[in-house]
Chain A
């Protein structure tokens, strides 16, 4: 069995390089090394997403009666009756200005209404 003696010089630790030289070489090498793109934004924790979804569902449920009615877009007159004597009624509504105007034409004061009657 042949034994090859290891030279003493190989067992000694290498002589440390000057720090400036080491880091200068390091910076030169790092320039050409491709690096991974930045990681995508981390997703929200599962409990936060679940909470947000649950809140959205509950809010929608709370608003449901309003949202399902066709009147959600505006005011609706479901019935209109003018028992006092009058000539006519005009209901005005358009999309330009929100709201409804009801014009009662020919409505007389209460004391005038009885005049001329039996």
Chain B
């Protein structure tokens, strides 16, 4: 009985620590003003996209995952590469497109708070990079 209780307390106490190991969901999105289509896989960030961007159509182009904390190994999604260094509390992010560095940022990520970069040139309009902690 005592051992069972101790195990429960341990799980309860270690849960917040274990929760810090997370994954960063990276999506490359083609955005345009043609049509009203929103990819089903973008429903979770659609309110944010619609609120701040004047595009009407959002199509998922590529998707990948980076395990955090990361040591900087690049994630290639088409001609876009994402490189992360650090953990979710202090994460350095570099976005490259066609071999050139487009954005460098340092951020502290939160669950259910997407970070979206808009304005990257794409073959059919504008590309968005959406980052979301999972």
| A residues whose Cβ falls under 8 Å from a Cβ of B | 51, 54-55, 58-59, 62-63, 65-66, 69, 71-72, 74-84, 86, 92, 94, 96-113
Chain A residues closer than 8 Å to B16, beta-carbon distance: 59, 62-63, 66
Q: Are B118 and A58 in contact (CB under 8 A)?
A: no
Chain B residues closer than 8 Å to A63, beta-carbon distance: 16
> Does B78 touch A at the CB level, under 8 Å?
no
Q: Are A75 and B101 in contact (CB under 8 A)?
A: no
Chain A residues closer than 8 Å to B45, beta-carbon distance: 99
Interface of A is mostly: mixed
Q: Are B110 and A78 in contact (CB under 8 A)?
A: no
| B residues whose Cβ falls under 8 Å from a Cβ of A | 5, 9, 12-17, 45, 47-49, 51-53, 89-90, 97-110, 112-121
Task: Report if A111-B98 is in contact (Cβ < 8 Å); known contacts: A80-B103, A103-B53.
Answer: yes
Task: Report if A58-B108 is in contact (Cβ < 8 Å); known contacts: A84-B102, A101-B118, A104-B103.
Answer: no
Q: Are A100 and B115 in contact (CB under 8 A)?
A: yes
Cα separation A37 to B16 with both chains bound (whole Å): 45
Task: Report if A99-B48 is in contact (Cβ < 8 Å); known contacts: A74-B110, A78-B107, A84-B101.
Answer: yes
Q: Are A98 and B89 in contact (CB under 8 A)?
A: no
Q: Are A59 and B13 in contact (CB under 8 A)?
A: yes
Closest to A106 in B: B119
Closest 3 CB pairs of A and B: A104-B119, A62-B16, A110-B98
